[in-house]
Amino acid sequence: MIRRLIDLWKHLVEVSRYDPEKDLDRWREQLFTVIYPLALLAGLAVCADTLHTAFVEQRFLLTVAACVAYLFVMTLMSLRFVPIRARMAAGLVIFFSSVFYQSSPLVGYLFLFSLPPLIAILVSFHAALSALGANVLLFIATTYHFATFDVDLQNFGIPSLDRWILYGIVFLVLDIIVTLSFGLLTKGLAQVIALEREVRHALMEREKRLTELNTRLSEEMERRERMREELSETERKAAFYLSHDRLTNLPNRAAFLQRLSVEIMRARNRGWMFGVVSIGLDRFKHVNGMYGTAGGDAILNSLAERLRGILRDHDAIGRVGDDRFMLLFSDIARPEDMLVILPRVWETIERPFQIETQEAQVSASIGICFFPLDGTTAEALVKEAEAAMFAVKESGGGAHRFFDAKMNAEMIERVTIERKMRDAIKRDEFIPFFQPKVDRFGYLLGMEALIRWNDSEGIILPDRFIPIAEQNGTIVEIGERVLYHACRQNRQWQENGFVPKKVSVNISPFEFRSPGLVRRIRETVEKSGLDPLWLELEITESGIIRNEQDALRKLRELHEIGISLSIDDFGTGYSALSKLKDYPVDTLKIDKSFIDCVPHDKRAVTIVVSLIRLAHNLGFKVVAEGVERSEQFEFLVVHGCDQFQGYFFGRPLAASEFEHHLHSSTSSS
Ligand code: C2E
Ligand code: CA
Ligand code: CA
């Protein structure tokens, strides 16, 4: 009970902190829980009194009915799910019914007077006020009843009517005070709670509004962002199409020119060159007529796509006219590199295009020019590439042409040679000529095999095709054929009874670096049947210095087979003589460019003389190549050169013609 009261107090203190709606109810319930046992006790006492009176007066039915009613109401009041106000009402019923059967009006009033404050707390202040009014009316009515009917108040334990009125007034005053204070307290509390509820509600509302505003704001911001994006997308598109072609999305003429200008600066800074290629589709009107404009557009689109596919990082492309494209190939080392790129360009044009179910084929004219060889401004380069392209168009189209006439001729030759080369290998058209090597007495010591291309249109010299063969890799096959023929021929001469001589075969730097070189040479020599003793290989300095370790290993292996080794074009490279002494090399061949200048050029004289001396000191034999005049020969003899080669002694000749050198050397020996 005391704990309950403490709880109640605590509750009152904390009430402002709780959820007002719930707490008000809970607080009422707490009060009710305190009052409830008191009410039970009081009810029990009143009931017992009633029962006692009824029993004494022998009204048993009433006794039983009172007991049942009492039990029923008590049960009702104990049920939790019954609303608190219903339970309160049941309590009131029991008080009224008890009081109604009270013998003493004093006790009855005591209970009646306690009702308004109770109602004030538990129900509402208004109800309490009406209960108070009812009390006053009841008092007046009872007093009137007592006075009018002259009731013997002594029977109720009241000494006189005056006393009754006095008690009544005192009770009523007390009742009013207690009810008012309880009511005000509850009302105040309720107000505080309501206020708090209002504040909370307002806060919540505010928060809700804020969140709402926030959402609206972010929605608005999103909308703006979208609008801005859409706007910039349109702007971007507009800007893009200012510089790009709508059909293929490629840069237009102006944009391509700009790109070219940038490339010119880049190439200038680095000292590089680049190529500009103009592609004009041949008779495109005709194509449009055949496949319709949509078909023509589709062809242009796929061609643009294909061309884009063959570009490397710094290359560029543009659509500079209805049926014209322009390509920029950056970082080109020399014009010949274009010959590697052109087949790829041709492939993109000549591969059939799929127009719905049909296959369409187009032809084009291509013009090529180079920065800085043909022009140094973007406009000039475009003009020249297009001039070359239009020249092709005029002569029927379907081909390419270089702007520079000389270069064009060279390139055409290159392409022709390259095309013919593979067939020539199959037809074994590469054969060696032989040039004599003699000693200071003119005695034949050996011969250098020099390759010739025995083309149907005449003999082609190595300068015209060896660089190409080195570039496309066919030099390996060609070199192998020449080596075989040279060895085979030498063997044949030996078999024919000529005094055995050494044959020198040139190995190009590319060939020398190729993997499997030693094995291939060994097999070829074996196949020819020549004793390796009668073979010398001429390797240029540049062939050795690239990868010295690998070169040294190869030279040793070749030397072990029994093949002699000679350094060709000596003096033109950068190798230090001292380094060469570690190489298994027997001979140094002083380059023709030095021999050409002796004995008149002092510098050349100094170089040749010191080369010969140094070579001898290191144990090498020295060969002079390109000796054309007797004064050169005499000079070289005086300075101790060991062997001589040049037109002065004999030009390179076909094997059958070379035999007379062998004859004379055989007869003189
Ligand atoms: P190289 O090895 O320096 O050959 C010497 C070149 O000088 C030869 O030219 C030869 O005909 C030429 N020559 C010789 N004596 C004289 C002379 O007195 N005056 C003049 N003006 N020229 C002379 P060729 O035969 O045209 O060969 C040129 C180059 O082609 C050779 O230079 C060599 O590097 C290469 N070569 C020739 N045959 C082969 C071969 O079978 N394989 C490889 N890889 N390269 C070869
Ligand atoms: Ca040579
Ligand atoms: Ca040479």
Residues 6+ apart with CB under 8 A from 476: 510, 511, 514, 520
Q: Where are the beta strands (DSSP E) in 117-197?
A: none
Given this model, what pLDDT does residue 132 score?
A: 79
Domain-wise residue ranges, the chain:
2-207, 253-420, 428-668
Q: How far apart are CA 627 and CA 346, in angstroms?
A: 47
Angle (nearest 5°) at CA 654 between 653 and 656: 115
| pLDDT band per the 50, 70, 90 thresholds, residue 116 | low
* Segment 562-568 mean pLDDT: 95
For residue 159, which amino acid is it? Answer: P
Lowest-confidence segment of 174-178, 463-467, 520-524 by average pLDDT = 174-178
Q: What is the 3-state secondary structure (H, E, C) of 510-545?
A: HHHHCCCHHHHHHHHHHHHCCCHHHEEEEEEHHHHH
Query: Torsion angle, CA of 392/398/399/404, rounded to 10 degrees?
Result: 20
Q: How far is the CA of 508 from the centre of ligand 1 (A)?
A: 11
Q: Name the residue at shortest CA distance from atom 43 of ligand 1.
A: 506
**What whole-number distance in Å separates Cα of residue 667 and Cα of residue 669?**
6
Class (C level, CATH) for 428-668: alpha beta
Average pLDDT over residues 504-532: 95
- 654 alpha carbon to ligand 1 midpoint, in Å? 14
Residue ranges lining ligand 1, Cβ < 6 Å: 435, 449-451, 461-463, 466, 479, 482, 506-508, 511, 538, 568-569, 592, 625-628, 645-647, 652
How many angstroms does the Cα of residue 587 sit away from the middle of ligand 3?
A: 14
**What pLDDT sits at residue 546?**
72
The rounded Å distance from CA 668 to ligand 3 centre is 29
Q: How far apart are CA 523 and CA 516, in angstroms?
A: 11
**3-state DSSP: the chain helix, strand, coil percent, rounded to 5?**
65, 15, 20
> What is the pLDDT, as a whole number, of residue 35?
59
- What average pLDDT does the segment 334-352 reach? 91
Q: State the distance from the centre of ligand 2 to the C-alpha of 435, rounded, in angstroms.
A: 10
Residue with CA nearest ligand 1 atom 4: 450
**CA nearest 555: which of 592, 547, 526, 620?**
547
Q: Separation of 651 CA from ligand 2 center, angstroms?
A: 13
Structure tokens at 204: 């919540």
Distance CA 45, CA 440 (A): 161
Contact 443, 649 (CB under 8 A): no
Nearest CA to ligand 1 atom 17: 626
Position 177 scores a pLDDT of 84
Region 181-191: mean pLDDT is: 72
Backbone angles phi, psi at 497, to 5 degrees: 100, 5
Kindly tell me if the per-residue pLDDT of 96 is higher than 80. Answer: no
For the record, the structure tokens of 354 come out as: 């799929």
User: What's the predicted TM-score (pTM) here?
Assistant: 0.56
Ligand 1: residue whose CA is nearest its atom 30: 462
Nearest listed ligand to the Cα of residue 450: 1
Which architecture characterizes domain 253-420 according to CATH? 2-Layer Sandwich (3.30)
φ, ψ for residue 585 (rounded to 5)? -105, 140
Q: Which of 430, 451, 478, 595 to mutate to test the pocket of ligand 1 (most atoms within 8 A of CB)?
A: 451
Q: Residue 497: pLDDT band by 50, 70, 90 thresholds?
A: very high
Selected residue with higher pLDDT from 563 and 290: 563
Q: Where are the alpha helices (DSSP H) in 310-404?
A: 338-350, 378-394
Task: Supply the residue whose CA is at minimum distance from atom 33 of ligand 1.
Answer: 506
In this structure, which residue's CA is closest to atom 45 in ligand 1?
Answer: 506
Half-sphere exposure of 592 (CA within 13 A, CB side): 9
* pLDDT tens, residue by residue, 544-557: 777 788 889 999 99
Q: Is 408 left (phi over 0), alpha (psi -120 to 50) or beta?
A: alpha
pLDDT digits (tens, 9 = 90+) for 426-448: 999 999 999 999 999 999 999 99
Å from CA of 572 to ligand 2 middle: 13
Phi and psi torsions of 202, nearest 5°: -60, -45
| Rg (the chain; Cα; Å) | 62
Is residue 515's pLDDT more than 60? yes
Residue type, 466: I
Q: Residue 292 Cα, ligand 1 centroid: separation in angstroms? A: 59
Ligand of minimum distance to the alpha carbon of 587: 2
pLDDT tens digit string along 405-424?
A: 887 888 888 888 888 998 99
pLDDT per position as a tens digit, 281-330:
998 888 888 888 999 999 999 999 999 999 998 899 999 999 999 999 99
Query: Which ligand number lies closest to the CA of residue 645?
Result: 1
**Atom 37, ligand 1: which residue's CA is nearest?**
450
Q: Quickly state the pLDDT bin for 563 (edges 50, 70, 90).
A: very high
Is residue 17's pLDDT more than 50?
no
Cis status, amide bond into 599, omega within 30 of 0: yes
621 burial type by CB count under 10 A (0-12 exposed, 13-18 middle, 19+ buried)? middle
pLDDT for position 496:
95
Mean pLDDT of 534-547: 86
